[in-house]
């Protein structure tokens, strides 16, 4: 269609990243859908509806649709309420469009949603919904199963470019995500090769796709599973079988001690952060099958307690002075503790010079994405 072609040409001139991404998406005329939809692979559109607009507006529509692709909205839609999810997606995309100096195709933009993830916006919109959950508005709305985006109409413009779930009957979601992210990477490469083809907002999203933020809970789960595993050792045969002249490896565990959680209780860790830390500590303790040591420390160790799942809600941080990391490591050494691991919750605002211990360390860091660990693994919990 000439209008689609002209819209792509307009994007190539003014917004090349979105143009290169659009060139990798299939465009299909489908007059039954009323407006348009995007499932990450296919952009469907009603030709008569599209012809009511000029190519500049259509360029904005294409960029909007590619914004949904860039933010992986179609792959994140499963199980969500269709109308609410589309509104949340449009708020997120329109924020990106404004940062990219692209005109909006609807009015779904709020400054307070500027730096929020789409899921966060979705949760906030739950409180604004007029329709009760039992009137076809539940988060598991079955109407969202279709791939053509025909299941609803809106008065706020969120149906202009609907987010639809891609067809996964032949291609599993993990493979589809790889396909879509590769398209995004290819578009980014072409835009960069052509010069100033990406705004800072786009670069930030692309970099996140290249190097996704780590889910500390997932890492912790894998981490604790590895350090707690039992090993078979041929050098230490199972004595119960030796008396029968059967030589099999013995099952043993060389790990001594438990996991230690250290909480930075300095003044820079405000109450909001500390509440988040306590929530994460509870999550961590619930993953353990044994007692956990919790150390409270600002410039000195303020408190040490042994905690099990039922005790987590009773933890009250003690400290609120300056920040020092050394006291925690010195306490562990002085008490002759040999922990399986140390998990340190902090904002990282400390300049102690540390010596790497013999046990593994994870730094769970708040509001400090530039923190560089001297050893161990650093994870930005909320960045």
pLDDT per residue as tens digits for the range 173-197: 878 989 999 999 999 999 988 776 6
pLDDT of residue 302: 97
d(CA 122, CA 11): 29
pLDDT tens string 285-308 = 776 767 889 999 999 999 999 988
pLDDT of residue 297: 97
Confidence of residue 29 (pLDDT cuts 50, 70, 90): very high
CA-closest candidate to residue 201, choices 94, 79, 90? 94
Helix axes 200-210, 82-99, angle to 10 degrees: 120
Interval 97-111 mean pLDDT: 95
pLDDT of residue 259: 85
Range in 118-127, 167-176, 322-331, 342-351 the model is least confident about: 167-176
d(CA 4, CA 19): 11
Interval 328-341 mean pLDDT: 93
CA–CA distances in Å: residue 352 to residues 199, 229, 263, 301 = 38, 33, 16, 15
Interval 71-82 mean pLDDT: 91
Q: CATH code at 374?
A: 3.40.50
pLDDT of residue 171: 82
Same domain for 48 and 110, yes or no, is: yes
CA-closest candidate to residue 308, choices 323, 297, 293? 293
Range in 162-166, 194-198, 199-203, 281-285 the model is least confident about: 194-198
Beta partners for 364? 345, 379
Same domain for 154 and 227, yes or no, is: no
pLDDT of residue 40: 94
Same domain for 223 and 369, yes or no, is: yes
Domain that holds residue 11: 2-210
Does residue 78 have a pLDDT over 90? no
Same domain for 295 and 237, yes or no, is: yes
Same domain for 152 and 264, yes or no, is: no
Range in 9-23, 52-66, 137-151 the model is least confident about: 137-151
pLDDT of residue 146: 46
Range in 115-119, 233-237, 304-308 the model is least confident about: 233-237
d(CA 83, CA 151): 9
Range in 77-81, 220-224, 358-362 the model is least confident about: 220-224
More confident residue, 306 or 243: 306
Same domain for 152 and 118, yes or no, is: yes
pTM of the full predicted structure?
0.59
Confidence of residue 126 (pLDDT cuts 50, 70, 90): confident
Of 157, 187, 210, which one is at a domain's C-terminal end? 210
Same domain for 201 and 269, yes or no, is: no
Same domain for 200 and 244, yes or no, is: no
pLDDT of residue 334: 96
> What order do you get walking across the sheet with 259-264 strand by strand?
301-307, 292-297, 259-264, 341-346, 361-365, 377-380
Range in 6-10, 25-29, 243-247, 304-308 the model is least confident about: 243-247
- How many domains would you assign to the chain? 2
pLDDT of residue 217: 62
More confident residue, 230 or 222: 222
pLDDT of residue 233: 46
Same domain for 223 and 331, yes or no, is: yes
Same domain for 32 and 181, yes or no, is: yes
Of 210, 245, 261, which one is at a domain's C-terminal end? 210
Confidence of residue 8 (pLDDT cuts 50, 70, 90): very high
pLDDT of residue 223: 63
pLDDT of residue 378: 87
Confidence of residue 284 (pLDDT cuts 50, 70, 90): confident
Same domain for 256 and 138, yes or no, is: no
pLDDT of residue 337: 92
Same domain for 108 and 158, yes or no, is: yes
Of 190, 210, 230, which one is at a domain's C-terminal end? 210
Arithmetic mean of pLDDT over the chain: 83
Interval 2-30 mean pLDDT: 95
Confidence of residue 220 (pLDDT cuts 50, 70, 90): low
Confidence of residue 129 (pLDDT cuts 50, 70, 90): low
Range in 136-150, 340-354, 357-371 the model is least confident about: 136-150
More confident residue, 371 or 146: 371
């Amino acid at each position: 269609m000439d209008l689609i072609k002209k819209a792509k040409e307009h994007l190539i001139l003014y917004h090349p990243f979105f143009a290169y991404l659009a060139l990798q998406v299939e465009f299909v005329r489908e007059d039954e859908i009323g407006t348009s939809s995007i499932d990450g692979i296919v952009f469907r559109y009603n030709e008569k509806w599209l012809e009511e607009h000029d190519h500049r507006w259509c360029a904005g529509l294409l960029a909007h649709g590619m914004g949904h692709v860039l933010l992986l909205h179609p792959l994140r839609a499963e199980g969500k309420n269709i109308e609410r999810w589309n509104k949340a997606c449009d708020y997120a995309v329109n924020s990106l469009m404004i940062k990219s100096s692209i005109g909006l195709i609807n009015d779904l933009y709020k400054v307070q949603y500027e730096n929020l993830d789409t899921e966060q916006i979705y949760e906030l919109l739950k409180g604004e919904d007029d329709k009760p959950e039992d009137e076809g508005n539940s988060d598991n709305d079955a109407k969202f199963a279709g791939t053509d985006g025909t299941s609803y109409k809106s008065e706020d413009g969120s149906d202009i470019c609907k987010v639809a779930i891609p067809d996964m009957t032949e291609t599993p979601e993990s493979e589809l995500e790889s396909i879509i992210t590769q398209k995004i990477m290819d578009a980014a490469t072409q835009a960069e090769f052509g010069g100033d083809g990406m705004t800072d907002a786009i670069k930030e999203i692309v970099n996140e796709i290249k190097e996704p933020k780590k889910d500390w809970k997932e890492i912790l789960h894998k981490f604790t599973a590895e350090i707690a595993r039992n090993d078979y050792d041929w050098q230490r045969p199972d004595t119960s079988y030796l008396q029968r002249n059967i030589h099999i490896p013995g099952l043993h565990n060389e790990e001594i001690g438990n996991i230690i959680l250290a909480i930075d209780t300095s003044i820079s860790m405000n109450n909001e952060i500390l509440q988040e830390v306590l929530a994460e500590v509870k999550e961590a303790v619930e993953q353990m099958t044994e007692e956990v040591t919790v150390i409270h420390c600002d410039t000195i160790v303020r408190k040490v307690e042994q905690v099990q799942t039922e005790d987590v809600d009773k933890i009250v941080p003690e400290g609120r002075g300056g920040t020092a990391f050394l006291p925690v490591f010195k306490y562990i050494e002085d008490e002759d503790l040999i922990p399986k691991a140390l998990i340190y919750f902090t904002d990282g605002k400390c300049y102690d010079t540390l010596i790497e211990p013999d046990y593994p360390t994870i730094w769970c860091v708040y509001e400090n994405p530039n923190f560089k660990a001297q050893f161990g693994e650093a994870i930005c919990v909320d960045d």
